[in-house]
Amino acid sequence: MYAEMAAWLQAQGKTFRYGFHLVRSSYWFTPSPAVTKELFGSLRKDLKVPSVLAELLLTEQLFQFPEKIGSQQVKSVRDLTIGYDNSMPDNKPVLPLSTTSEMITFNLASGSVATLRASGTEPKIKYYIELKTAPGKKER
């Protein structure tokens, strides 16, 4: 796969310097499933609408996601647990839902992406961060 990517970049007149990206991923242990549920509920500021109504009325008013993460503006949010993606015209994600496991992705205005998800087998919350910067930028 690496060789294929190198060949493709060379055909584009680029090198790995311009095709490389760094992904930061790690996890936190959580003491119980209730803590995990509470954390994800706080991210979506769940307005405690009964699930029957939520299915009928899925709009941005039911869930208020963060507008910023640190100093970064949130461009869009995909929540595969509740079936929400405000980057899509109908607010429904293209990816399959994962209603038994929490997973939220924040797309930032800078082009960076942060995903948090609950582990299906361990008491962990995993996170993945993709930072997008201009080519050659050395700051982290």
Is the entire prediction scored with pTM above 0.75?
A: no
What structural domains does the chain harbor? Answer: 21-130 (3.30.310)
- Residues facing 124 on adjacent strands: 29
Amino acid at 8: W
99-116 exposure pattern, b = at least 16 Cβ within 10 A, e = fewer: eeebbbbbbbeeebbbbb
**Radius of gyration, alpha carbons of the chain:** 18
- Is 31:123 a contact under the CB 8 Å cutoff? yes
User: What is the longest distance spanned by two Cα atoms in the chain?
Assistant: 55
Mean pLDDT of the chain: 78
65-80 pLDDT per residue, tens = 889 988 999 999 999 9
